[in-house]
Structure 1
C-alpha cells in the first residue's frame, strides 16, 4: 500500500465542478478513494477553503457551515482556512459601455475613464497554504505519494518541487475534463474526478456530536 495524502483546493473544486449542480454534499473521502488506485492508502485529506460572505447569497454562510460540520465528523479530513477580503475598487467596464461615467478623479484625465466602483471579493491564503503544506510534507517524507485536486496553475511550482526535487510521485486530480497543460507537466499521474462526484455524496442526515447534520435544502 502507498501512503497517500490528498490536498483539495476547495474553491477550485466548487467553481470548476460543483457550482450549479445537485452534488455539493460531496463525500471527500469517498471521492478520493474512487479517484485513486486501490493501492493508495489515504492517511489524510487536507481541505483548503475560506468562510464565504453572505453579501451575494444570504444562505451561503449557513449552508457552508453545515457542510464543514459534516466534513468535521470524518477524522481523516483536516480543514485549513484562508480568508475572504472584500473592498470597493475602481474597475474597467466591458463593452458595450453604458452611458454612465463617473466624475473624473483628476481634471487631467481626458476622456473620462470607462470605469465604475465595484465590490471585489478575493479569497486569500488557500493556495499558499496548500502549496506550503505540500512541500513541507514532501520534505518530511509524510507521504509516499501526494494527490492534489485543483486546476489552479499557482500550484505548479510546489507540485514541481515535490516531483523533481524531492523525487516523490504526485497525482493531479482534475476537476475539469481538460486540465491545464502546465499542471499535467508537473504531475506523475492525472486522474479525473468528474465521473465520481455524483455517486460520492454524504448521507443526510449525518450524525455529528450527537446531533443530526442535514444537507441544505437548496443543495
Structure 2
C-alpha cells in the first residue's frame, strides 16, 4: 500500500521522547520498523515549530541540528507552525499548593501570578488539512498518523469514513486517546522501536556536513 506518514512533532516529543535517550530519532527507520511490510512509504510529513530559547538557551540549536538531520531523509517534508512565548497573569488555586509542600502558607496569599506561557500554534491544523486533502485527492492508499492529540479526531474521521481509506494510528503513548483509537482502522505503538530507529552519530549530509547528536540528548 502506498503510505504517507503524518507526524505531530511536538506531540511525539513530549509524549514519547522527552525523558528518554532516543531523541536522535530517524523517522523513516521508525516507520519501516513499526509498520507492516506491505506499506510502501512514499512520503513523511513532519509538523513542528521553531522553538524559543527563553527557557532553555540550547534548545533552538539542538532542534536546528535535528531538523537538518531529518532533511537527509528522502521524501520527508517539514511544515512549520509558530511557537509563542509570553508572560501571562494566571489565577492560582486556593488554597495554594506547593511542591515541595510548605508547612505554612505565605501571607498575604496571592490570587494571581505572572507565568511564562508556551504555546505552539498551527501544527495540528496544518497536519489535519494536509491529511484530509491528500486522502480526498487519493494521493495515497493508506495514511499513518503519529499523535495523541484529540484535536485531530475530525480529520481522522473524514479520512476513514468519507474518503474510505485505511488509517493507522501510530501511538506515542501506551494508552492512546479513546477518540483517536475508536476512529483509526489500525492502532500500533512506536515505543518498542525507538531504540533501533536512531540516526547514526554523526549524520553526514549530501554536502558532506557532519551533524553530531546534541550532547544533552
Same fold (TM over 0.5): yes
In the alignment, the residues of structure 2 paired with residue 100 and residue 206 of structure 1 have an alpha-carbon distance, to the nearest angstrom, of 55
Residue of structure 1 equivalent to 2:4:
5
In the alignment, the residues of structure 1 paired with residue 84 and residue 113 of structure 2 have an alpha-carbon distance, to the nearest angstrom, of 19
Residue of structure 2 equivalent to 1:195:
192
TM-score for both structures, normalised by structure 2: 0.92
SS in 1 for 2:160: helix
Shift of 1:34: 1.0
SS in 2 for 1:47: strand
In the alignment, the residues of structure 2 paired with residue 87 and residue 66 of structure 1 have an alpha-carbon distance, to the nearest angstrom, of 25
Residue of structure 1 equivalent to 2:102:
none
In the alignment, the residues of structure 2 paired with residue 60 and residue 114 of structure 1 have an alpha-carbon distance, to the nearest angstrom, of 32
Alpha carbons of structure 1 residues 100 and 189: separation in structure 2 relative to 1, 3 Å: farther
TM-score for both structures, normalised by structure 1: 0.92
Residue of structure 2 equivalent to 1:213:
211
Residue of structure 2 equivalent to 1:15:
14
Moved >4 Å (runs of 4+): none
Gap runs ≥5 in structure 2: 99-104
Matches within 5 A, 1:150-161: 150-161=147-158
- Among 106, 111, 133, the alignment partner of 1:99 is 106
Shift of 1:100: 6.3
In the alignment, the residues of structure 2 paired with residue 75 and residue 33 of structure 1 have an alpha-carbon distance, to the nearest angstrom, of 13
SS in 1 for 2:148: coil
Shift of 1:185: 0.9
In the alignment, the residues of structure 2 paired with residue 54 and residue 185 of structure 1 have an alpha-carbon distance, to the nearest angstrom, of 38
Residue of structure 2 equivalent to 1:109:
none
In the alignment, the residues of structure 2 paired with residue 4 and residue 100 of structure 1 have an alpha-carbon distance, to the nearest angstrom, of 60
The count of residues paired between Structure 1 and Structure 2 equals: 208
The answer on 1:173 being equivalent to 2:170 is yes
Gap runs ≥5 in structure 1: 102-111
String of CA shifts for 1:21-45, please: whole Å, max 9, x gaps: 1110001000011111000000000
